[in-house]
Amino acid sequence: MTTNTMTANMMTANTMTANMMTVNTANMNMTSATNAKAVMTNTTSATSTANINVMNMVTGNATNAANAANAANATNATNATNATNAVNTMNATNETNTKNAVNAINAANAVNTTNAVAEKPVQNQQLAKSSQRPKNFNQNRSMAHVHLSFFGSIRAELLKLFSIASTWWLSGISFLLTIGFAAMFAWSIKQESHYDARGKWMATAAPIPRTELFNCVAQSMAFAFILIGVVAILSITGEYGTSSVQMSLVVNPRRVMFMNAKAIAVAIYSFVLSLVTLLVSWGLVEVMLSGGKQTPLTSKEHWLPLIVVLGGAAMVTLIAEFALGLGAMIRSTAGGVVVFIAIYTMATSVLGIIYGLSKHMKWALELSNLMPSSLVDTFMAGPTPSAPSPLPKGWFVPNWWQSGLLVLAWAAVFYVVGTIIVRKRDVK
């Protein structure tokens, strides 16, 4: 409103100035017209006087000529006086109009100055408020319209996971090794069925228990656990190694969402790959052992196919999440892979060696049974009868479903710790 008032005052001053110029122009025109009329009158009077003088000279009336000349001079003097008065009056009027215009302009300037002074505190307050805003205020306003979708983050993580060449190489090697080991185990079982207990060859093969078929499938996944775990480690350490994690966290600054999306992407990848591999291995073993007799599953073993196939895929997924959390903690590809292999494979062997050196170190055997690889083997064996444990009574020996829960605990602990570290630690 203050700006509009100033504009209106300026327009008023301009209008008054234009009116003054119009009045001055009209007055000047009137002066010119009056002067011209006076000149014309004087000329006419002079002409008339000359005519009268001529006529008087002709007639010889000198007195009339003198009177006529005096009358003409009086008329001229009167006309000159009138013209002078008109000019003086017009000049006075022009001076008055000029003073009025100057006063109007001064009044308008005074009003504008008052408005500017009144508006300055408001502007200062606005500048003070804007200076108190954070530096990233405009950026936050623009980011407020950006919606971070969790499903979009999952798609981005899947795209990053499958854009790495090592993912395809390790997946192919895992698939081929699992299929190869399943075929080798099936061939070995088929050959053993032709030997009796004394090691003599029999032309007719002995019946093969169907539990052996699923044991072949389960044992063939040993390398798949390691290779898929390495892929999970690379999915997080690869970003830190190439510093691409900085761009990932700029696009998605919510680090917990970033880790959750990556965990789901790794879970989808590992579960689908392991499920397909297990189904292909199961079909191959069925074909290779289809020629001989088989002992059917008992009532307690009817769930063994689901435990081996679906449960095996779930175990691979949990180990992959365990590896992902480990990689988030270490942030180094070489260090993460070495520590993962040490925990998953070497720890069980080392604890077994310690127990073998002294039978009194039963705690080493207990810890060995709680390592991820031992828990996975126990779970994949299912509810089939197992060899009695050398541990005395009172020691905890997990069964197959307890082993599955313990693997879940391993994965949950390492993943949560890795996520906390990613959230708290700066990106270097």
pLDDT in the model for residue 30:
39
Q: For the beta carbon of residue 227, count every other beta carbon within 10 angstroms.
A: 19
Whole-structure pTM value: 0.66
Band of pLDDT at residue 98, cut at 50, 70 and 90? low
Could you report the per-residue pLDDT of 173-192, keeping only the tens digit for each? 999 999 999 999 999 998 88
Could you report the per-residue pLDDT of 141-166, keeping only the tens digit for each? 444 455 778 999 999 999 999 999 99
pLDDT in the model for residue 194:
81
Q: Of 103-112, 130-139, 313-322, 387-396, which one has max mean pLDDT? A: 313-322
Band of pLDDT at residue 391, cut at 50, 70 and 90? low
**SS3 for 157-190, per residue?**
HHHHHHCCHHHHHHHHHHHHHHHHHHHHHHHHHH
pLDDT in the model for residue 291:
79
Could you report the per-residue pLDDT of 24-64, keeping only the tens digit for each? 434 444 333 333 343 333 333 433 433 334 333 333 433 44
The answer to whether 38 and 57 have CB atoms below 8 angstroms apart is no
Residues 113-131: what's their mean pLDDT? 50
Number of H helices, E strands in the chain: 16, 2
pLDDT in the model for residue 238:
93
Q: What percent of the chain has pLDDT over 90?
A: 43
Could you report the per-residue pLDDT of 335-380, keeping only the tens digit for each? 999 999 999 999 999 998 888 887 778 888 889 999 999 999 999 9
At CB < 8 A and 24+ separation, what contacts does 34-40 make? 34/83, 34/86, 35/83, 38/79, 38/80, 38/82, 38/83
* Side-chain half-sphere exposure of 19, counting CA atoms within 13 A: 11
Residues 109-137: what's their mean pLDDT? 51
pLDDT at 128 over 60: no
Sequence-distant (6+) residues with CB within 8 A of 366 are 391, 395, 396
Residues 300-312: what's their mean pLDDT? 92
